[in-house]
Amino acid sequence: MPVSATAAAAPTATAAATDAASDAAVCAPLPVLGRDVLVPLVTGGEVEYAALDIAASAPALQRVWDDVAAYAPYYGSVHRGAGYLSQLSTDLFENSRAAVADFLGCREGDQVVFTRSTTDSLNLLAAVLPADTRVFVFETEHHASLLPWEQRADVEVTYLDAPRTPRQAVDTLERALAEREPYRNALVCVTGASNVTGELWPVRELAAAAHAHGARIVLDAAQLAPHHPVDIAELDVDWVAFSGHKLYAPFGAGVLAGRADWLQAAEPYLAGGGASRTVARRADGGVDVDWHTTAARHEAGSPNVIGVYAIAAACKALTEAGFEGLVAREQRLVERVRAGLAEVPEVTVLSLFGDDAPRVGVLSFVVEGWNSSHFAAALSAEYGIGVRDGLFCAHPLVRTLLGAESEAPGECGAPEGAPGERSLNAIRVSFGAGTPDEHVDRFVQAVKELVTQGARWSYRTEDGRCVPDTAA
Q: Which residues are catalytic?
A: 393
Stated as kind and residue range, the H or E segment containing 122 is helix 118-128
Nearest CA to 276 out of 308, 301, 303 is that of 301
Angle 259-261-264 from CA coordinates, rounded to 5°: 115
Please answer whether residues 104 and 259 qualify as being in contact, where contact means their C-beta atoms are separated by less than 8 angstroms. no
DSSP-H helix ranges across 343-436? 372-383, 395-402
Q: How many CB atoms lie within 10 A of CB 140?
A: 28
Q: What span, in angstroms and rounded, lies between the C-alpha atoms of 5 and 202?
A: 53
DSSP-H helix ranges across 213-289? 232-235, 261-265
Please answer whether residues 169 and 194 qualify as being in contact, where contact means their C-beta atoms are separated by less than 8 angstroms. no
Q: Which residue type occupies 3?
A: V
From start to end of 325-402, where are the E strands? 347-349, 362-367, 385-386, 388-390
DSSP-H helix ranges across 134-216? 143-146, 166-178, 203-212
Q: What is the DSSP letter of 151?
A: G
Nearest CA to 395 out of 127, 139, 90, 70 is that of 139
